[in-house]
Every structure is written in C-alpha cells, then in structure tokens.
Amino acid sequence: MEDRKHIEVCFTPGEYEYFKGEYDIVVVIDVLRATSAICAAFDNGIKSIIPVATIDEAREYQKKGFLVGAERQGQIVEGFDFGNSPYSYMKEELKGQEVVLSTTNGTKALSIAADAPTVVVGALNNIDALCEWLSVQDKNVLCLCSGWQDKFNLEDTICAGAICDQLISSGNFVSDEDSSIAAKYLYLSAWENPLGYLKSSSHRRRLKNLNLNEDIKYCLTPNKTKVIPILKDGKLVKL
C-alpha cells in the first residue's frame, strides 16, 4: 500500500493552492478545447507552443512577429490568427512553427501549474498514451482541471476520472481525495456514451450555440494521437 503513488484530481484552478507542492507531475486538462487543440497541434508537427495567461501577453508576442492564437468566451479574440479550435492547428503552414496561445481557461491553468516539477497536457485525445507514460514514472500525479471561468466542469472531470481509473487499474496508484473518487464515479457512469452524457453540460451547450459541433466531436474522441505535450522552460514541446 505505502509504495503506491497518488493519482488525484483538482476540479478548478482556484483550488490548486490546496494541492500544490505535493505532486511531482501535474496533468493540465481542458478538454473543450485548449488541451485537445494543443495535442492536435503537436500531432500535426507544430514545434512548440508558448502558453500565456493574458491577452496583453499574447499581444506582446504578436508585436514581436509570432503567430498567436487567442480565445475568450469560446470565440477568437479580434486581431488574432486563430482561437482554440483543434482544426485551426492542422494547417500545413504551421508544421515546424512556434506559436503562442492564450485561452479562457486552459492556458490559465497551465500558468498556475507552471511551478510543478513536471507539467504535461492531457485530453481525451491522448489519454491512453498519457496514462501509459504516467504509469511508468513512479511519481505522484495531480490532474488539474481547467474548469469554465473558475467553476467546475463535467468534461475535464470525466477525463481526469478516466486517468484515475486507468492508473488505479494498473495497481500502482491509489486515490484518496473525495474529488478523485467523484471524478472516477462520474467517468464510470459517463464512459459508455460521453457525447450523450455531456449533452447536459452547460459548456457543450455554449459551444453548440457557436456552431462548434465538429470541434466538440473531435475533442470528445479518445486516442486520436499518442503525443504528450510537456512544459519545458515556459514552452510546450512534444515529449
């Protein structure tokens, strides 16, 4: 029992302060859509992504000539090259490039977690590859859900619960926090039909209103890629 490592879940960036310092690896999750888009970007051969928390920082990089994506409230911020649709990162001209990204929830969570020893990016898109890698690290792992405007959201929680379930099933991990137990329960009741389950999610409704059904389908499809984005010196690169 004592040799087992912890896999725990923090529901929102605001609660991270009560978890921080106890985990060797933080997995940042923003299923709809930042971390799904980041995985899509590396799968498409993008060289690196600089995540920034604020629009001001994003504009600074733009002035320096970087390709910059910025999303707020589900839409591309005026004057920027793209938002956080996974499809916008699949373009040929982005291969080998370094881009900058700021989103409502995901890059904020990345910046909050940046002080952890290791920070990786998780999504349903890369979940099996991520769990396989996590399972051999022999480290305590925290899934940090990005939430929606500082509140709990279902899709990030279900992704985190799926990670807990896979790692616990391996026999080398244990969950203690009530949030982790709840995430696993929610995942187990959702997994047979994640799209149907998430119909009731407020965030999904918001995206539907913005005609982003294709994005949602992409983001909720497990294992589109084996890439694991990792934060190195303030930049996300492929592990």
Where on the chain is the footprint of its own copies (CB under 8 A)? 11-12, 14-15, 18, 148-154, 157, 176-179, 181-182, 185-186, 189, 200-203
Q: How many residues does the structure list for the chain?
A: 239
Work out the angle at residue 199's Cα, subtended by the Cα atoms of residues 124 and 161, and round it to the nearest 5 degrees: 35
Distance CA 216, CA 146 (A): 16
**Closer residue to its own copies in complex, CB, 47/206:** 206
Smallest gap from residue 81 Cβ to its own copies (A): 30
**Closer residue to its own copies in complex, CB, 18/78:** 18
**Closer residue to its own copies in complex, CB, 69/194:** 194
Listed in sequence order, the DSSP H helices in the chain are 34-43, 55-63, 106-113, 127-135, 154-169, 178-190, 194-197, 202-209, 213-219
Smallest gap from residue 74 Cβ to its own copies (A): 15
Distance CA 163, CA 2 (A): 21
**Closer residue to its own copies in complex, CB, 28/145:** 145
3-state SS class at 140:
coil
Sign of CA dihedral 177, 182, 188, 194: negative
**Closer residue to its own copies in complex, CB, 12/48:** 12
Q: Is the distance from CB of 137 to CB of 1 less than 8 angstroms?
A: no
How many CB atoms within 10 Å of residue 129?
A: 17
- The DSSP letter of residue 4 is P
**Closer residue to its own copies in complex, CB, 122/147:** 147
Smallest gap from residue 144 Cβ to its own copies (A): 13
- The DSSP letter of residue 137 is T
**Closer residue to its own copies in complex, CB, 200/209:** 200
Smallest gap from residue 178 Cβ to its own copies (A): 4
Smallest gap from residue 4 Cβ to its own copies (A): 15
Smallest gap from residue 226 Cβ to its own copies (A): 29
What residue type is assigned to position 237 of the chain?
A: V
Smallest gap from residue 99 Cβ to its own copies (A): 29
3-state SS class at 98:
strand
